[in-house]
């Protein structure tokens, strides 16, 4: 039996999601944000995904703490992209290495299929080897490398694009 459960998003998750993301903004290159957005931003973002019916999965510990989150939503806003989604997955720093990322992504992939998405795109910083390996294990294939696309922590960063047919 695992020490966490996967469940749908709840409005009470916004502070924890904000805190988890904040960690990655200030301590990693997993995101190219330079300043962490606040709770209002995440409430609006997740509210929009809820309205659209897009998949959002929360990993919750036995104590009720949010350990991570994953979602799939609009890849690009133009209507021709309506069957393509982009995924995101973030684990709390102290919850890494427990299989949460994979479990959340498996659930998001299944929910994305059920929603009607046909393709899933992952946009990953090339230094994110753990995320790249996770996506490979889930059947994503490499479709491109964009060199020196972002600048964070005084260095240029490459981006890997991966894709999975749903």
| CB contact at 8 A, 62 and 3 | yes
Mean pLDDT over each residue of the chain, to the nearest integer: 97
pLDDT at 149 over 90: yes
- Token duo for residue 123: 């946009």
Map out the domains of the chain with their CATH numbers: 4-165 (3.40.630.30)
pLDDT at 84 over 60: yes
* Edge-to-edge order in the sheet of strand 119-125: 4-8, 56-61, 66-74, 84-91, 119-125, 155-165, 141-152
Q: pLDDT (tens digit, 9 = 90+) per residue, 107-143?
A: 999 999 999 999 999 999 999 999 999 999 999 999 9
Site of tokens 């990322």: 101
pLDDT of residue 6: 98
pLDDT of residue 162: 98
- Specify the DSSP class assigned to residue 134: H
Dihedral over alpha carbons 90, 94, 97, 100 (to 10 degrees) = -50
Dihedral over alpha carbons 65, 28, 135, 70 (to 10 degrees) = 30
pLDDT of residue 2: 78
- Token duo for residue 63: 């104590």
How far from chain centre, in Å, is Cα 122? Answer: 9
* CA proximity to 161, closest of 101, 104, 86, 89: 86
Long-range contact pairs involving 91-96 (C-beta distance under 8 Å, separation at least 24): 91/20, 91/59, 91/67, 92/16, 92/20, 92/23, 92/65, 92/66, 92/67, 92/68, 93/23, 93/27, 95/4, 95/59, 95/61, 95/67, 95/68
| CB contact at 8 A, 74 and 112 | no
Mean pLDDT of 55-71: 97
């Amino acid at each position: 039996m695992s020490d966490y459960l996967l469940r749908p998003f709840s409005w009470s998750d916004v502070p924890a999601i904000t805190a988890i993301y904040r960690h990655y903004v200030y301590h990693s290159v997993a995101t190219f944000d330079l300043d962490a957005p606040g709770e209002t931003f995440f409430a609006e973002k997740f509210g929009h995904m809820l309205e659209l019916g897009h998949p959002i999965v929360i990993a919750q510990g036995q104590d009720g703490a949010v350990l991570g989150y994953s979602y799939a939503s609009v890849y690009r806003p133009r209507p021709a992209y309506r069957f393509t989604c982009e995924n995101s997955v973030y684990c709390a720093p102290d919850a890494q290495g427990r299989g949460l990322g994979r479990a959340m992504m498996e659930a998001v992939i299944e929910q994305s299929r059920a929603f009607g998405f046909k393709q899933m795109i992952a946009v990953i910083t090339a230094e994110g080897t753990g995320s790249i390996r996770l996506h490979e294990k889930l059947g994503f294939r490499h479709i491109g490398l964009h060199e020196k696309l972002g600048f964070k922590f005084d260095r240029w960063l490459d981006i890997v694009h991966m894709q999975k047919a749903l």
